[in-house]
């Protein structure tokens, strides 16, 4: 058995073992044993059928696993003797499809949450939530009079107004078309800076995860295949999730200089820096920057005659084969940060790339994400 | 006045019976409908069949067995006697008990359908918003399934008003106690008093038509209001 298990106040410890009687029919069993950060946004990432929604439902108490152990920031929600029913768990839940009560207006739906809120009603919070989700003008409407995106914004506001200690979001954008997704993403990004409770965000979209999450749990067939900070997991080249066209890393960097003439900002990492399009953020602010593997190329020596602005001195940490047999993925380390490059096998051969080599990484494009 | 003294007594009795039965059936039928809508149990089939039996059986069959059950040797009769009451046949409350069985499917099935149509999602949403099971029923299920409950109440009421065979078997023909409108009409026809029969029978047709018209009008308005489930 495990020896020193400390119950940290700000972690979510979840151990679920859920077996369906007819596994053949449902396709999987859920078997997870996780400790997740008790702050920030943690993405639960996986393909459909990976068990990510079931996992979230277990946390909410909407599914009852045969074996379960759940502690959320110090509070016991489930063990072999205890099973707190859903309505006694201080959580907020946003379902995949909007789930507003059809017999109540948007405002009525919010009032339903406020009436049952875990903490006394505060009008400042109400105004803040209404403003964050930008729903003031649609409050008098019934759900069937709202667009999909509007319904989902009201649903998120409702989950916030219950004033939960954790927010669970089950693919809140999955039922929306891509235009509506882009419409809602900024609201979710705003959540991260306005809400101080942990958020578990289930998604199968690497793009959403990259924009929103601080940490990530990767599920496959009901099991955890990777877990850690977003930067760490996205920089691992052994994971199938990073084996796509859009694979890339997320780095934190500080804005140290803004060049108004060229509309650029200089971002500093632990070692090295790069120029990106100025996003309008303040000097000194820490931002997230995304670098796609396909936008990184390697050279043995620095260049001064290239159009590419950004070059970093890096060390090759590892090389792995790509799904595409002509391609390879190279994990590069500089200071405390990792980036990944996706190159042809031919280039790897011609440059004689080996782990441990010092080399120059050219970054064709990098973008600040929020 | 087109109705006689006896007609008014029969109408009053019929309305009293139908109201009592409808209220009791909504109270008894809702938990059964809930269970039928939610259960995965093996018992769902047999219980559904039992509930639906009055739809297909001749009223005389139901009446016959209820008469035996409520009689001095029957299990309901034994029970009422032990409680210090008389046996139920040929009393108002005997009619009530019989009508509960006879009108049961008309109340349970619409409620069951409405709850099934709701799905689990609204209940789950209510639970994530701190509503316990009872609160969830009154604040979410009842308003969302309102059309189903309305249909159940109207059909249960109208069907009890239209009852004849079971009444005759259980209640007989006691003025002011068990002589409901349908029996009164039967008496008129037996006595060849077609004029009086016309008055009451015509009133029944008008009443039933108006009740059903009101029900369908209500359902149409609900649909127009967009009370669609699962939004």
Q: Are residues B228 and A158, on separate chains, in Cβ contact within 8 Å?
A: no
B121, B131, B143: residue with CB nearest A87 = B131
ipTM of the modeled complex: 0.83
Q: How distant is the Cα of B140 from the closest Cα of chain A, in angstroms?
A: 7
Please give the pLDDT value at position A138: 95
Hey, is the C-beta of A112 within 8 angstroms of any chain B C-beta? yes
pLDDT at A51 over 50: yes
With beta carbons under 8 A apart, name residues in chain B contacting A150.
none
Q: Give which of B118, B125, B138, B150 to mutate to test A binding, by max A Cβ within 10 Å.
A: B125
Q: Are residues B140 and A158, on separate chains, in Cβ contact within 8 Å?
A: no
With beta carbons under 8 A apart, name residues in chain B contacting A87.
126-133, 136
Q: Are residues A93 and B227, on separate chains, in Cβ contact within 8 Å?
A: no
The C-alpha atoms of residue A284 and residue A110 are separated, in whole angstroms, by 38
Please give the pLDDT value at position B203: 92
- Mean pLDDT over residues A13-38, rounded? 82
Q: Are residues A87 and B143, on separate chains, in Cβ contact within 8 Å?
A: no
**Radius of gyration of chain A from Cα atoms?**
23
Confidence of residue B140 (pLDDT cuts 50, 70, 90): very high
Confidence of residue A2 (pLDDT cuts 50, 70, 90): very low
Which residues numbered 30-69 in B keep a CB inside 8 Å of some CB on A?
none
pTM beyond 0.90: the answer is no
Confidence of residue B230 (pLDDT cuts 50, 70, 90): very low
Which residues numbered 129-168 in A keep a CB inside 8 Å of some CB on B?
142-145, 151, 158-159, 162
Residues written for chain A: 370
Q: What is the 3-state secondary structure (H, E, C) of chain B?
A: CCCCHHHHHHHHHHHHHHHHHHHHHHHHHHHHHHHHHHCCCCCHHHHHHHHHHHHHCCHHHHHHHHHHHHCCCCHHHHHHHHCCCCCCCCCHHHHHHHHHHHHHHHHHHHHHHHHHHHCCHHHHHHHHCCCCHHHHHHHHHHHHCHHHHHHHHHHHHHHHHCCCHHHHHHCCCCCCCCCCHHHHHHHHHHCCCHHHHHHHHHHHHHHHHHHHHHHHHHHHHHHHCCCCCCC
pLDDT at A153 over 60: yes
Please give the pLDDT value at position B231: 35
Q: How many other C-beta atoms can be found within 10 angstroms of the C-beta atom of residue B193? A: 13
Q: Are residues B129 and A113, on separate chains, in Cβ contact within 8 Å?
A: yes
Hey, is the C-beta of B169 within 8 angstroms of any chain A C-beta? no
- Closest residue of A to B142, CA-based? A103
pLDDT at A27 over 80: no
The C-alpha atoms of residue A180 and residue A74 are separated, in whole angstroms, by 37
Confidence of residue B194 (pLDDT cuts 50, 70, 90): very high
Q: Give which of A56, A85, A99, A144 to mutate to test B binding, by max B Cβ within 10 Å.
A: A99
What pLDDT, in 10s, does the model give residues A244-281? Answer: 777 889 888 889 988 888 888 899 988 888 888 888 78
User: Comparing B222 with A254, which gets the higher pLDDT?
Assistant: A254
Hey, is the C-beta of B117 within 8 angstroms of any chain A C-beta? no
With beta carbons under 8 A apart, name residues in chain A contacting B230.
97, 102
The answer to whether B159 and B171 are in contact (CB under 8 A) is no
Q: Are residues B228 and A101, on separate chains, in Cβ contact within 8 Å?
A: no
Hey, is the C-beta of A25 within 8 angstroms of any chain B C-beta? no
With beta carbons under 8 A apart, name residues in chain A contacting B228.
102, 144
pLDDT at A200 over 50: yes
pLDDT at B229 over 50: no
Query: What residues contact residue B8 under an 8 Å CB cut-off, 6+ apart?
Result: none
- Mean pLDDT over residues B152-181, rounded? 90
Q: How distant is the Cα of B131 from the closest Cα of chain A, in angstroms?
A: 6
Q: How distant is the Cα of A60 from the closest Cα of chain B, in angstroms?
A: 8
With beta carbons under 8 A apart, name residues in chain B contacting A92.
128
Q: Are residues A102 and B131, on separate chains, in Cβ contact within 8 Å?
A: no
Query: What residues contact residue B77 under an 8 Å CB cut-off, 6+ apart?
Result: B69, B70, B71, B87, B88
Hey, is the C-beta of B228 within 8 angstroms of any chain A C-beta? yes
> If DSSP codes are grouped into helix, strand and coil, which group holds residue A210?
helix
Instruction: Report how many Cβ contacts below 8 Å link chain A to chain B.
Output: 70
Confidence of residue B225 (pLDDT cuts 50, 70, 90): low
Beta bridge partners of A291: A249
B122, B130, B146: residue with CB nearest A101 = B122
């Amino acid at each position: 058995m495990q020896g020193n298990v400390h119950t940290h106040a700000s972690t979510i410890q979840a151990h679920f073992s859920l077996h369906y009687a007819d596994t053949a029919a449902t396709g999987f069993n859920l078997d997870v044993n996780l400790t997740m950060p008790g702050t920030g946004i943690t993405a639960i990432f996986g393909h459909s059928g990976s068990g990510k929604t079931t996992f979230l439902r277990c946390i909410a108490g909407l599914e009852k696993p045969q074996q379960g152990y759940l502690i959320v920031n110090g509070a016991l929600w489930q063990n072999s003797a205890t099973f707190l029913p859903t309505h006694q768990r201080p959580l907020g839940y946003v379902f995949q499809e909007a789930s507003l009560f059809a017999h109540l207006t948007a405002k009525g739906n919010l009032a339903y949450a406020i009436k049952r809120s875990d903490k006394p009603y505060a009008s400042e919070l109400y105004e803040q939530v209404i403003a964050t989700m930008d729903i003031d003008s649609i409050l008098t409407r019934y759900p069937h009079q709202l667009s999909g995106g509007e319904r989902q914004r009201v649903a998120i506001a409702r989950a916030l107004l219950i004033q939960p200690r954790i927010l669970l979001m089950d693919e809140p954008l999955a039922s929306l078309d891509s235009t509506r997704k882009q419409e809602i993403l900024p609201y979710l990004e705003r959540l991260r800076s306005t809400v101080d409770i942990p958020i578990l965000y289930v998604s199968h979209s690497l793009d959403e995860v990259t924009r929103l999450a601080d940490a990530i749990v990767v599920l496959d067939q009901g099991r955890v295949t990777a877990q850690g900070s977003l930067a760490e997991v996205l920089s691992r080249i052994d994971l199938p999730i990073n084996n796509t066209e859009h694979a890339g890393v997320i780095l934190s960097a500080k804005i140290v200089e803004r060049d108004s003439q060229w509309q650029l900002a200089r971002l500093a990492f632990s070692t090295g820096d790069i120029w990106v399009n100025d996003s309008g953020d303040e000097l000194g602010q820490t931002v997230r920057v995304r670098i796609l593997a396909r936008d990184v190329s390697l050279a043995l020596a620095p260049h001064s005659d290239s159009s590419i602005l950004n070059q970093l001195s890096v060390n090759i940490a590892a090389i792995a084969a790509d799904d595409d047999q002509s391609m390879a993925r190279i994990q590069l380390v500089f200071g405390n940060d990792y980036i990944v490059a996706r190159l042809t096998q031919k280039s790897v051969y011609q440059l004689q790339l080996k782990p441990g080599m010092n080399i120059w990484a050219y970054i064709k494009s990098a973008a600040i994400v929020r | 006045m087109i109705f006689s003294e006896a007609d008014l007594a029969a109408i009053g009795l019929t309305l009293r019976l139908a109201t009592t039965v409808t209220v009791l059936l909504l109270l008894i039928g809702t938990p059964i409908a809930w269970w039928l809508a939610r259960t995965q149990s093996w018992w769902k089939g047999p219980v559904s069949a039992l509930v639906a039996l009055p739809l297909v059986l001749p009223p005389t069959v139901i009446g016959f067995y209820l008469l035996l059950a409520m009689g001095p040797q029957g299990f309901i009769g034994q029970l009422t006697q032990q409680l210090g009451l008389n046996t139920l046949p040929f009393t108002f409350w005997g009619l009530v008990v019989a009508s509960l069985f006879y009108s049961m499917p008309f109340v349970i099935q619409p409620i069951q359908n409405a709850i099934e149509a709701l799905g689990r999602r609204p209940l789950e949403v209510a639970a994530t918003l701190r509503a316990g099971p009872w609160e969830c029923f009154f604040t979410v299920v009842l308003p969302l399934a309102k059309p189903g409950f309305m249909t159940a109440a109207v059909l249960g009421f109208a069907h009890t008003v239209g009852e004849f065979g079971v009444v005759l078997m259980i209640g007989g023909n006691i003025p002011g106690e068990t002589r409901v409108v349908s029996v009164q009409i039967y008496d008129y026809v037996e006595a060849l008093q077609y004029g009086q029969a016309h008055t009451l029978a015509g009133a029944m047709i008008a009443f039933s038509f108006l009740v059903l018209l009101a029900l369908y009008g209500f359902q149409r308005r609900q649909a127009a209001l967009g009370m669609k489930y699962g939004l």
